[in-house]
Amino acid sequence: MLTSPSPAAAGEVTRTPDRARRRTLVLLGLAAALGATILASLALGVRDIHPADVWDTLVTWATRAPLPDDQDTRVVLEQRLPRTIVGITAGAALALAGTLVQGVTRNPIADPGLLGLNAGASLAIVCSALLLGVGSPLGYIWFAFAGSAAAALLVFSIGAGRPVRLALVGATVTALLTPLVTLVLMQDQEAFNLYRFWAVGSLAGVRSAALAQLWPFVVVGLVLSVVMANRLNMLALGDDVAAALGQRVGTTRVLSGLAIVLLSGTATALAGPIALVGLAVPHAARRLVGTDYRWIVAVAVILGPVMLLGADVAGRLVLPGSELEAGVVAALVGAPVLVAVARGRSVAGV
């Protein structure tokens, strides 16, 4: 005998398409926001350029037609376009790294800096300036990347398998390396000047040649993030439950750790230790699409660049005739998120 479905079952069937539709609309809205932020990044600054002129310049450049030799064209193509591309790359990398860190550690206030990445990169940069005489962004990016990777690998090798211990080891490595950075800086003025420029966290002065050397690491990290997304859903249920569902928990942590190293190391090398992007974006993503990491990863790829580029644009406009670094503005935006988490108002499910 056929029976009609229960009201609860019918409600669940109705909610599932509604939830998918809402999440799709969120992604479309964020994509539109990213487009607007990119246009603002190319048009606004000390020298404002009309959006129509920006569009004409990009179309002319893309079609390899002759470009006018004027100041606006040089500003768009030589200064703001590389800066915008780096902001998109670093923002997405930081957001994805923060998502993976929170998923692996099951810690709602975790971000890439928790694993000692920033401290490792800082020590590598000041040592490269002191011992090898490195003095340019293109010269120190590999040292920053190597320092971040070494610190993260050390933390994961000691704290792997236990989220609480992972966080404690990361804090310990940071506490150990930070005084060493200070000790080196006290001995060399050139190292101090280089570190001061990098440590603020900024997209200004970043050359496209630096991104050309590091983009493969971001691509590999992005692919690993997509692959790990569903595994993180099971890991959120606990190691025992994930293992009972057939997941190799150790493999998940190793691959996620590799993605974190690649993404965080690249972003830190390119833009410096920009704080709180990796913390704020995953929480905002959960607010928008729930606790499914497959959707969180998709949102983070778009929302991270929106936040970082938005901070960079705001920093150009807040001080007429000058700039406030993107790292400072991003910290001001992300700090309220940290306060909300500390007060227990963040979304559960990490």
Within a domain: 17? no
Within a domain: 75? no
State the CATH number of the domain containing residue 303: 1.10.3470.10
Assign 347 a pLDDT band (cuts: 50, 70, 90): very low
Per-residue pLDDT at 144 exceeds 90: no
Assign 201 a pLDDT band (cuts: 50, 70, 90): confident
Assign 337 a pLDDT band (cuts: 50, 70, 90): low
Within a domain: 305? yes
180-184, 187-191, 286-290: least confidently modelled range: 187-191
Percent of the chain with pLDDT over 70: 89
Tell me which residue range forms the domain holding 313. Answer: 85-342
Within a domain: 23? no
Work out the average pLDDT over 120-148.
81
Work out the average pLDDT over 219-227.
94
Assign 12 a pLDDT band (cuts: 50, 70, 90): very low
Within a domain: 123? yes
Within a domain: 122? yes
Assign 2 a pLDDT band (cuts: 50, 70, 90): very low
Within a domain: 207? yes
The per-residue pLDDT for 304 is 94
Within a domain: 315? yes
The per-residue pLDDT for 350 is 45
Looking at the structure of the chain, the number of domains it has is 1
What does the mean pLDDT of the chain come to? 83
Give tens-digit pLDDT for 36-56.
999 999 999 888 899 999 999
Distance CA 224, CA 235 (A): 16
The secondary element (H helix, E strand) that includes residue 118 is helix 117-132
